Structure 1
């Protein structure tokens, strides 16, 4: 697609920028790309690693020549904080679907939780969620899963560099995880609940780091939109 002329104040985005965005809750990663493509007017734009709609936090967005760096950023170590709720499961492993299969968790102790964490540190096998964008036969598997069709995914080798429990207030367990690319935190929550014997699902998630990039330095969507509009307005004011 031929690039249409963009506002002169935004030429750096056409040339190539790396944007650190704090993805809003309920937005898909593609929602952010669509919004910025319209706001900036640049065709060549993409993100380095999907965040689910119910997750917030760091999303690296590349424009122009820096889209060549997307794979570099995607390969880097990630850090997440979040909450696992035990005593039930969900088909999607998070709150995109309704909790079911409830079980009593009153016998679960803090010691049991801390001991179980150890099973998930290091190089482990993990099966991705069937409600995910992984493709089989050219189509995302979540499309088949939503129709109730059988989906079988093979386990993958991932690495959990650190899995720390930050707070326990059952049924909620707050955690921090550092992991390799390809890790599904939803699967980690589901597998952790299964290891406890009472089930579990991901009830909150925030990506805090990708490599050396930190969510603390990311811009909100509203802030980024205001910044871009201010650049346009300042240029127009000084070049009339």
Structure 2
């Protein structure tokens, strides 16, 4: 029997969860943290309560790289209902306006949808986790308070039109960080002059990760046992989630210097972030190249 530390286990890495509908990202995080009996955990790339799909759960020191994972592109499957505007932009809210949509043709909807590919400006929705004076916007929205939000530039890399039937539009969207799919569907509805809101949203891709690589919480529960061995086999190494960063291998002396917060000299040129490994090829964390061969510690696993 494994002896349990009352404060939890010191485990490090990332679990790729397929979050269920009807669960907040934080609630999903807490369930996974308890199941793995992890001392520390955090999630990256929050999903709406009514959305499902990939939610990376960072355990232990992997929480230090969560901010870097947020930079990655994402892919979604989404279904939008035309002719109805919701106060939240999705099916969780109340319908505040209806407009005719039956006159729209399939080709017209496909053409308007395609026009959103590329760089576009979005105004973040009030029902979002963005903060104003330290308070999330959705809390203000629930009080009936609306504040001005600045538009932001995002990129729609792909927008694949999957079809339209009975007033429901289906799309697959690949986009940059910070893109609000609810806002995208609302903007498509506005351009069609009929309004629209999201009725189904599923994150199917995250950086190089595909939804087929994830596990539901129910599947993780089946693997649970007193020794945690089967569960721990599902934990991915942090460095494997950072494919966009180059590897830099350090000597023993350099590894000690970087751990103590000292800069090190290498032959690496350019202003970029890199993955640092010690002389035993163990992952140390992320460094910041200064452009002159000097690397400074950014986020270290120590």
Q: Would you call these one fold, judging by a TM-score over 0.5?
A: yes
After superposition, residues 121-160 of structure 1 pair within 5 angstroms as: 121-160=117-156
Going from structure 1 to structure 2, the CA distance change for 1:69 and 1:108 (only over 3 Å counts) comes to same
Does 123-132 or 63-72 show the bigger shift? 63-72
Unaligned stretches of 5+ in structure 2? 231-302
Cα distance in 2, alignment partners of residues 167 and 177 from structure 1: 13
Partner residue, 2:216? 220
Instruction: Give 1:233 shift.
Output: 8.9
Instruction: Give 1:131 shift.
Output: 0.8
Instruction: Give 1:225 shift.
Output: 2.0
Partner residue, 2:64? 68
After superposition, residues 46-195 of structure 1 pair within 5 angstroms as: 46-195=42-191
Cα distance in 2, alignment partners of residues 132 and 126 from structure 1: 13
Unaligned stretches of 5+ in structure 1? 235-240
Report the count of equivalent residues: 227
Going from structure 1 to structure 2, the CA distance change for 1:5 and 1:185 (only over 3 Å counts) comes to same
Higher strand share: 2
Instruction: Give 1:40 shift.
Output: 2.3
Q: Calculate the TM-score normalised by the size of structure 2.
A: 0.72
Instruction: Give 1:142 shift.
Output: 1.0
Instruction: Give 1:232 shift.
Output: 4.1
Cα distance in 2, alignment partners of residues 233 and 204 from structure 1: 35
Cα RMSD (Å) of the superposition? Answer: 1.9
Q: Deviations over 1:129-165 (max 9, x none)?
A: 1011110010001111111112221100000001111
Q: In structure 2, the residue corresponding to 1:66 is in which secondary structure?
A: helix
Q: In structure 2, the residue corresponding to 1:144 is in which secondary structure?
A: helix
Instruction: Give 1:81 shift.
Output: 0.3
Instruction: Give 1:43 shift.
Output: 2.9
Partner residue, 2:14? 18
Higher helix share: 1
Equivalent residues of 2:160, 2:172 under 8 A apart? yes
Q: In structure 1, the residue corresponding to 2:97 is in which secondary structure?
A: coil
